[in-house]
Amino acid sequence: MIHASTTAITRPRSLDEALAALEKSPGAVLLAGGTDLMVAWNAGERHLPERVVDLWSVPELATIGVAGDALHVGALATHSRIVGSPEVRAHAPALAEASRTVGAAQIQNRGTIGGNIANASPAGDTLPVLLAMDATIVVASRARGERPVPADAFWTAYRRTALAPEELIVRVEIARDRPQVLFRKVGTRRAQAIAKVSMALSLRRSAGGAVEDARIAWGSVAPTPVRARRAEDALRGKPLDAASIGAACAALPQDISPIDDIRSTREYRLHVAMAILRRALSGWVG
Amino acid sequence: MVPGRSRIVGDSPVRKDAFEKVTGKARFVDDLSVEGAWVGRTVRSSEAHARLRAIRFDPAFDWSTVVVVTAADIPGENVIAAIADDQPCLVDGVIRHAAEPVAVIAAPDDRTAGEALRHVSLDTESLTPVLDHESSDQALKSYEILKGDVERGLAEADLIVEGTYRVGHQEQMYIEPQGIIAIPRQDGMLVQGSLQCPFYVHKALTRVLGLAGDEVVVAQTVTGGAFGGKEEYPSMIAAHAALAARKAGRPVRIVYDRREDVRATTKRHPATVRHRTGVMRDGRIVAMDVEVVMDGGAYVTLTPVVLSRGTIHAAGAYRCANTRIRSRAVMTNTPPNGAFRGFGAPQTLFAVERQMDRVARALGLSPLEVRRKNLIGVGDTTATGQLLTDSVGAREVLEAVATAGNVELRHAELENKPRVDGAHLARGLGLSVYLHGAGFTGSGEAHLRGKAAVALGRDGRFEVQVGSTEMGQGARTVLAQIAAEELGVPLDDVDVVTPDTSIVPDSGPTVASRTTMIVGSVVREAAAALGAELGAAYPSLELRAAAREHAIERGPLRVLREYRPPPDVRWDDAAYRGDAYPVYGYGANVVEVEVDLDTLQVEVTRCLAAADVGKAIHPQLVEGQVQGGTLQALAWGYLEELVLKDGRVQNDRMTNYLIPTTLDTPPIETILVERPYVRGPFGAKGVGELPMDGAAAALASAISQALGVEVDTLPATPERLLDLVRGSR
């Protein structure tokens, strides 16, 4: 572990100050709740950087509310606040459900949705839900102002994001007319466990029962959170029945690329992904 | 109060240590404020096996700001005294595992110590490590127990059932990581810390420091859990801290963080156990042939005794005329394994209990029937030939869980349930029954002769002086209860002094489920003698008044007693025959599970635990022991898995070595059975380890029934279960 001899910490009090600080030091490490960074620094897995911008005291980033036809969740909204938010519960209950599975109560009190997104772990609990909801991640820089990034385009490679060095995440926007999302997390134990596999699934069906659109998103089965587009395609335009479900499950292994790691195995993840997808889709039948 | 009836023993008064712990007043070793104390950190190997050519100190660091201790600085012997004296205090020549201490750095503060540590590197020449116990040919100890004629028994059997069982490491995961502070004194060294066995540390320190016994004082600080993990390893940390303190000329404190603790300290021994069982059609077992291999890790530590207990328990709680148990422990280049609640017995009891299920299946009997037919009882002999004469609660515990769990009906119901295609959940029930020898094995207690004192102080109050440590299990409360009951005074009149080798007698280590039963019986004797002396001095006064008078008029009084082994207990160490333990505790479990067929995740939906403890001195604490031990056993069965790669621990944090949370904990229904042991205090037998012995087998059995497979390897993780289910198709 090599430490910078000193770490300069800037603590902006407004979004303007935060963007200005970042413009002055592009690439500075952004600190929100610190639940990932503090652990990594203490464990020597990441170097202590020269410059840190601590966003904890930027009030504009912490709001949760409805604006027009979208739910807005500020990047600094903690998992505890998401869980307790009537707006989130009304318009994106699966997001509240996912936030409820993040770490322990203490982690939920500090950890933020913006941090979960920026940390870009393939196991980030809220990320498949954001994918399944077609969420928009709104980022901003001082020079260019706000820029919407579809969740689908946000995680570019293992632990890489579309965020430019002078940008920060402002909020997440979720359309209110989205179909409900089913969230399923498979961990090693019943609480405080990192996902071995997680799935977020939403379907829009016609009056006749055919699948008009499907979103099947996954955590911990690829270098990034991913959508299973082939499996989605296998359902689109079909009635939800044994044949289409079978086709979707059969297509899934081409969409995901799970690995053996300390938590689980490739084989297990493949099996579980297919099994929980089959179970979830079968539950929708009828 | 009924005259003559016990008032304190059998009641569950507030723990002696409850207030200080609940209010946060308790001071753990890391909390102690010691003036001028420096911080010690340990330089460790990162290779499993290598020749150490040199330790390199980067000149970019100012080494004058710290103190460095290497093997060359050891004034006494470079050894951590144990059974074989093979483990060095600091590597001098050959590295034998990937977390082996090579040097100690002491610095004024944490940051400097960490900086210094980053500027040390090891110049090594790699050697080929042995990482798997099944392929190691370096046996460090072996045993053979013979009873009857096993070959003839097998030849005469209607059926021979074979099975191979494997279990993995387990980390104690006490909440407080290990820590020691060493304080140099004019006349020697004072060492305080989180530890189980102050006299073990004392002995180790005299050897490393080359000091006389009275020059070393070891005192326990409030200890946040141990489970065997603080039996032997504190000697290592104490030696490091003392060497650094000696060289620095000031106190040095070494407190491990979780990762260092998990990487370096001892674990439960992985084991492979093979069974060949000869059975008759009517269900009788006529021959048991058992082979045990345990992974000792890189040094001998306590492995020979762990193996011994594992070997003696390998035939389980069953009678069998022809038994052969052959065992060996082998060395590997992995961190040394050592003491952990159960001490070898959970491994072999898991195997024999799973084997009994296999026998039942082979005979078309239920698991309950086959156990009923072969269960040991009064008049039977164990594998070592020990005749059981009294305090045998085997049948009571089995029938207690069988009745409460409605086992006969439930098992049949689940067995005959048709399997539905596409079903989401599968259910199963498992059963186990077992025994656990209380106290040291064989002639251990006779050699040790544990001592205890009860003293009347100047204030007219009483003090129990023992080397036995409170580590969360409740020893302080239970020993005070025993003394208070015997003296006939209120519990508040009796304190138990914190162990300090300059004050307390050597009661033996706080291990082997021996504290209540063995040390407690000596405390009771000492209390009785003290009471008699006070009674004789003031015959007209009741004891409390006599104590006050004595304190005022004649001053303090202290009575010391030592353990006298019963004359009829015989043990032949050479032949490994005879009375292996003074007495046994008996336990039984019923576990019901639901397995999610999509994810192979296991949920325990019901768990029963019956324990024959002789007499529950403090029923609430006993229930706590039973529930905690049962949970630890369940977790060993399905959840806890140490991952090693090239001999290095990969999951060294609570984030990735998972133990159960409250949500993972099923309600555990505890049934206490009391078959008094005449030589135990008020009939008490040991209870600490018993509950660790059987729940994993019952769990594996339940999963086996649910999935229609045989779960023979622990932990039964969903990944392993998937392999099993696929293999069975």
B71 and B206 belong to one structural domain: yes
pLDDT at B2: 41
* Cβ–Cβ contact A189 with B under 8 A: yes
Indicate the burial class of B212 (C-beta count within 10 angstroms; 0-12, 13-18, 19 or more): exposed
Write down which residue in B264, B291, B323 finishes a domain. B264
Answer whether A272 sits within 8 Å of B651, measured CB to CB: no
* Cβ–Cβ contact A191 with B under 8 A: yes
Confirm or reject CATH 3.30.390.50 for domain A182-284, answering yes or no.
yes
Distance from C-alpha of A82 to C-alpha of A92, rounded to nearest angstrom: 10
pLDDT at A19: 97
B258 and B283 belong to one structural domain: no
Sheet of A8-10, strands arranged across:
A8-10, A51-54, A29-31
B531 and B388 belong to one structural domain: no
Strand partners, B293: B272, B328
Chain B residue with minimal CA distance to A5?
Answer: B115
Domain region containing B236: 36-129+182-264
B410 and B467 belong to one structural domain: no
3-state secondary structure (DSSP) of residue B394: helix
* CB neighbours of residue B286 within 10 Å: 21
Strand partners, B50: B95, B126
Structure tokens at B485: 């009951």
Helix residue ranges per DSSP H, B339-436: 345-363, 367-374, 394-404, 407-415
Provide CATH 3.30.43.10 ranges for chain A: 8-57
Matching residue, tokens 């006993």:
B622
User: What is the pairing mode between strands B139-147 and B648-649?
Assistant: unpaired
Domain assignment present for residue B717? The answer is: yes
Provide CATH 3.30.465.10 ranges for chain A: 59-175
Contact by Cβ (8 Å): B312, B603 = no
Architecture of the structural domain at A59-175 = 2-Layer Sandwich (3.30)
Q: CA of A212: how far to CAs of A206, B667, B703, in Å? A: 6, 46, 41
Alpha carbon of A107: minimum distance to chain B alpha carbons (Å):
13
ipTM passes above 0.85: yes
Contact by Cβ (8 Å): A273, B596 = no
pLDDT at B6: 60
Answer whether B661 sits within 8 Å of A186, measured CB to CB: no
Structure tokens at A116: 């979960």
User: Between A5 and B357, whose confidence is greater?
Assistant: B357
Nearest to B661 among A191, A268, A279 (CB): A191
Q: What share of chain B is helix, strand, coil (3-state, %, to 5)?
A: 35, 25, 40
Chain A residue with minimal CA distance to B599?
Answer: A272
Distance from C-alpha of B45 to C-alpha of B103, rounded to nearest angstrom: 10
Instruction: Taking residues A200-218, report their average pLDDT.
Output: 96
User: CATH assignment of A8-57?
Assistant: 3.30.43.10
Strand partners, B297: B331
Matching residue, tokens 């030849």:
B155
Alpha carbon of B118: minimum distance to chain A alpha carbons (Å):
7
Nearest to A1 among B118, B422, B651 (CB): B118
* Cβ–Cβ contact A201 with B under 8 A: no
Looking up residue B283, the CATH number of its domain turns out to be 3.30.365.10
Instruction: Taking residues A111-132, report their average pLDDT.
Output: 98
pLDDT at A6: 87
B410 and B503 belong to one structural domain: no
Interface test with B, best of A5, A36, A192, A261 (most B CBs within 10 A): A192
Write down which residue in B203, B237, B264 finishes a domain. B264
Distance from C-alpha of B26 to C-alpha of B86, rounded to nearest angstrom: 37
Domain assignment present for residue B206? The answer is: yes
- Within 13 Å, how many C-alpha atoms sit on residue A6's CB side? 3
Nearest to B663 among A2, A190, A271 (CB): A190
Res A5 pLDDT > 80: no
pLDDT, one tens digit per residue, over B222-252 is: 999 999 999 999 999 999 999 999 999 999 9
pLDDT at B417: 87
* Cβ–Cβ contact A264 with B under 8 A: yes
Res A2 pLDDT > 60: no
Tell me if the bond preceding B715 is cis, omega within 30° of 0. Answer: yes
Confidence band for A1, pLDDT divided at 50, 70 and 90: very low
B430 and B547 belong to one structural domain: no
Specify the number of domains making up chain B. Answer: 3
User: Between A190 and A3, whose confidence is greater?
Assistant: A190
B44 and B75 belong to one structural domain: yes
pLDDT at B93: 95
Answer whether A267 sits within 8 Å of B722, measured CB to CB: yes
The contact set of B with A (CB < 8 A) is 118, 259, 422, 424, 597-601, 639, 643, 650-651, 653, 655-656, 658, 660-664, 718-719, 722-723
pLDDT at B568: 86
* Cβ–Cβ contact A270 with B under 8 A: no
Segments of chain B scoring below 50 in pLDDT: 1-5
Alpha carbon of A3: minimum distance to chain B alpha carbons (Å):
9
Write down which residue in B245, B264, B283 finishes a domain. B264
Nearest to B664 among A189, A263, A264 (CB): A189
Distance from C-alpha of B236 to C-alpha of B182, rounded to nearest angstrom: 12
- Reference B454, options B475, B479, B419; nearest CA is B479
Distance from C-alpha of B339 to C-alpha of B302, rounded to nearest angstrom: 7
Answer whether A191 sits within 8 Å of B656, measured CB to CB: no
Residues of B in contact with A275 (CB under 8 A): 597-599
What is the percent of chain A with per-residue pLDDT over 90, rounded to a whole number? 93
* CB neighbours of residue A152 within 10 Å: 18
Nearest to A264 among B598, B653, B719 (CB): B719
What DSSP element (H or E) covers B215? Answer: none
User: What is the pairing mode between strands B451-456 and B285-297?
Assistant: unpaired
Q: Phi first, then psi: what are they for B699, rounded to 5°?
A: -65, -50
Indicate the burial class of B485 (C-beta count within 10 angstroms; 0-12, 13-18, 19 or more): buried
Strand partners, B38: B252
Answer whether B658 sits within 8 Å of A265, measured CB to CB: no
Residue B422's region, left for phi above 0, alpha for psi from -120 to 50, else beta, is: left
Answer whether B661 sits within 8 Å of A265, measured CB to CB: no
Instruction: Write the CB contacts of B479 (distance below 8 Å, at least 6 apart in sequence).
Output: B464, B466, B468, B496, B515, B516, B519, B520, B523
Domain assignment present for residue B253? The answer is: yes
Domain assignment present for residue B2? The answer is: no
Domain assignment present for residue B10? The answer is: no
How many A×B Cβ pairs under 8 Å?
Answer: 52
> Helices B695-707 and B407-415 sit at what angle, rounded to 10 degrees?
30
Res A4 pLDDT > 80: no
Alpha carbon of B385: minimum distance to chain A alpha carbons (Å):
44
B470 and B514 belong to one structural domain: yes
pLDDT at B624: 97
Matching residue, tokens 């042995």:
B130
Distance from C-alpha of A111 to C-alpha of A113, rounded to nearest angstrom: 7
Residue type, B257: D
Interface test with A, best of B41, B598, B726 (most A CBs within 10 A): B598
B540 and B519 belong to one structural domain: yes
